[in-house]
Amino acid sequence: MSKIRISNGEQFPVEMHKVRIVQKLNLIPIEKRLKAIIDAGCNTFLLRNRDVFLDMLTDSGVNAMSDRQLSSMLLADDSYAGSETFYKLEDSIKYIFEKTFFLPAHQGRACEHIISKVFVKKGSIVPMNYHFTTTKAHITTLLGKVLEIPIPEAYDINSSHLFKGNMDAKKLREAFIEHKDNIPFVRMEAGTNLIGGQPFSLSNIKEIYSICRENNVPLVLDASLLSDNLYFIKKREKEYQNFSILDITREISKNTDIVYFSARKLSSARGGGICTNNESFYKTMRELVPLYEGFLTYGGMSVREMEAMAVGLIDTMDETVISQGPEFIEYMTAELLKNGVPCVTPAGGLGCHLDANRFVSHIKELEFRAASLAVAIYIVSGIRGMERGTLSEQRDENGNEVISDMELVRLAMPRRVFTMSQIKYAIDRITWLYENKELIGGIKWDEEPKTLRFFYGRLKPVNDWPNRLLEKFKKDFKDSL
Ligand code: F0G
């Protein structure tokens, strides 16, 4: 963020922005928090925001916008067809990705819907560095399969590997030999979400792209979390230290055939889009945009958000803008580790990720360790995190639970939203919870939806543990909220 030295040697990131609009927060008493989470079926997605103190559920659609973005929204050209705003957005896309053809869509999963409909059929196999929930759901709904081939370190929660989002090139070569005709595209995800916001290196995507070229199969980049990945390449990949963020972005894009993104993350606005230099791909995907999204010059988005996207994409090329998230996450992770709290290392982008398998190893796997920990964190702090583990999986063909490779609680760091004192509060409450971890118990299904069940499934505690946790909190924190 900034190279500022602190006189006593302490190290912490200093914000390179100031707050000009604020939203008031509430911290309701612990008794009310306990009632709120039980009423929400022990699912943090079902909490009402008025009951949440620090909303670390996600960075999606909740990043702070810049003054430049907000002011641009007033200039939006509101017309069904041919809006000037669309052309501004298209220009930003061309400038940063150097791709000629752009299709707007209302959010990231809408792009996945379009890409999957065009490329995936029954029996298709899509290799990727790791799946994302909505990506997988779109592919499997069309009876295709996801083949995850990250490097082995991706699964190692305590690793020092700087690019755990890399794809295993050898496994990709093997996949091409084994499934040659069934691979419609290969997908790389920037800032790999479900393994803790971990980046791929530029040299890795170059290698993966050359394998795709040899096999004449397109490489699709999910650039939703690109800003964090760009920061990590600049910081961690020696070869590209002297490249600007824009140069790195263009170099990545050059090694892809299709780029899509959720603008709820990339560009700190709300929307999405797909771009490519391949006219034939463009024309085939274009057929679906008016059908599912809206006319080609708005694609289901508000033009105001599109203005903000156009500016936000350019803002993303500024290192002092994109460094805030990863540097706050690194600070929070380092402090928690000092206190013994198990976290995913190295710290990635998107959020601080707690390792629930070690945090609450006493809870049975089928009683959802990460989801139970997310419940406990909300009760003791009012902080809303998100389960990224077994509950976020889908059951297998035989209806059995699939135990996730990782059992994480993600405490997302929406960009430029939280202050350092709020992060210190989070570190304190999570550390206290870790010291009292044996009081946390499991949860079990009450109502289980069939797909993307983590969004609105309802669960309940297996016993009276939430009350015991509340009692210990009252004893230790007395009249504190
Ligand atoms: N790809 C990645 C890597 C994502 O993280 C997301 C969303 C999507 C695609 C879908 O985009 O939400 O705009 O439809 N991730 C959000 C999250 C939901 O909280 O991590 P969307």
Q: What confidence score (pLDDT) does residue 1 get? A: 55
**Taken in order 50, 378, 327, 357, is the CA torsion positive or negative?**
negative
Predicted confidence band at 209 (pLDDT cuts at 50, 70, 90)? very high
Q: Per DSSP, what are the bridge partners of residue 186?
A: 219
pLDDT over threshold 60, residue 266: yes
Which tens digits make up the pLDDT trace of 162-186?
A: 999 999 999 999 999 999 899 999 9
- The Cα 213–Cα 219 span in angstroms is 9
What is the CA(196)–ligand 1 centre distance, in A? 13
| Residues whose CB falls within 8 Å of the CB of residue 282, separated by 6 or more in sequence, listed in order | 101, 103, 276
From the CA of 189, give the closest atom in ligand 1: 3
What is the CA(284)–ligand 1 centre distance, in A? 24
Residue to mutate, 114, 138, 264, 353, ligand 1, most ligand atoms under 8 Å from C-beta: 264
Q: Which residues of 387-404 are buried (b: 16+ CB within 10 A; e: fewer)?
A: bbbbbbbbeeeeeeeeeb
Which tens digits make up the pLDDT trace of 188-201?
A: 999 999 999 999 99
Q: Per DSSP, what are the bridge partners of residue 345?
A: 158
Which tens digits make up the pLDDT trace of 408-450?
A: 999 999 999 999 999 999 999 999 999 999 999 999 999 999 8
pLDDT over threshold 90, residue 479: no
What is the CA(412)–ligand 1 centre distance, in A? 12
CA-based Rg of the chain, rounded to a whole angstrom?
Answer: 22
Burial of 104 (0-12, 13-18, 19+ CB in 10 A): buried
Closest CA to 134 of 153, 159, 157, 115: 115
Cα 476 to Cα 14, 29, 340, 472: the distances in Å are 32, 15, 20, 6
What is the CA(60)–ligand 1 centre distance, in A? 7
Residue nearest to atom 4 of ligand 1 (CA): 224
Q: What confidence score (pLDDT) does residue 451 get? A: 83
Residue nearest to atom 9 of ligand 1 (CA): 108
With beta carbons less than 8 A apart as the criterion, state whether 212 and 219 touch.
yes
Q: What confidence score (pLDDT) does residue 4 get? A: 81
228-246 mean pLDDT: 97
Q: What confidence score (pLDDT) does residue 481 get? A: 84
CA angle 358, 361, 362 (to 5 degrees): 155
Q: Per DSSP, what are the bridge partners of residue 102?
A: 275
Residue nearest to atom 12 of ligand 1 (CA): 108
Q: Express as a percent the part of the chain with pLDDT over 90.
A: 95
Segments of 263-367 assigned E as strands: 272-276, 351-355
From the CA of 225, give the closest atom in ligand 1: 3
What is the CA(260)–ligand 1 centre distance, in A? 11
- The Cα 206–Cα 204 span in angstroms is 5
Residue nearest to atom 5 of ligand 1 (CA): 193
Element (H, E) at 377: helix 369-381
| Mean of per-residue pLDDT scores for the chain | 96
Residue to mutate, 198, 262, 305, 352, ligand 1, most ligand atoms under 8 Å from C-beta: 262
Query: What angle do the packed helices 245-254 and 226-236 form, to 10 degrees?
Result: 110
**Residues taking part in catalysis:** 80, 132-133, 222, 265, 388, 454
Residue nearest to atom 21 of ligand 1 (CA): 108
56-64 mean pLDDT: 97
- The Cα 78–Cα 90 span in angstroms is 16
Query: Model's pTM, two decimal places?
Result: 0.96
pLDDT higher for 285 or 481? 285
pLDDT over threshold 70, residue 360: yes
- The Cα 376–Cα 369 span in angstroms is 11
- The owner of tokens 């210990």 is 472
What is the CA(173)–ligand 1 centre distance, in A? 28
| Terminal Cα distance for the chain, rounded | 32
Q: What confidence score (pLDDT) does residue 11 get? A: 85
Q: Among 99-103, 274-278, 321-325, 476-480, where is mean pLDDT lowest? A: 476-480
Residue type, 257: D
128-146 mean pLDDT: 96
Q: Which residues of 339-368 are buried (b: 16+ CB within 10 A; e: fewer)?
A: eebbbbbbbbbbbbbbbbbbbbeebeeebb
- The Cα 135–Cα 113 span in angstroms is 8
Q: Which residues line ligand 1 (CB under 6 A)?
A: 58, 60, 107-109, 132, 134, 189, 193, 222, 224-225, 262, 264, 272
Predicted confidence band at 5 (pLDDT cuts at 50, 70, 90)? confident
With beta carbons less than 8 A apart as the criterion, state whether 176 and 334 touch.
no
Which tens digits make up the pLDDT trace of 376-389?
A: 999 999 999 999 99
Q: What confidence score (pLDDT) does residue 394 get? A: 85
With beta carbons less than 8 A apart as the criterion, state whether 154 and 163 touch.
no
Q: What confidence score (pLDDT) does residue 2 get? A: 57
186-189 and 219-222 beta bridge pairing = parallel
Q: What confidence score (pLDDT) does residue 211 get? A: 98
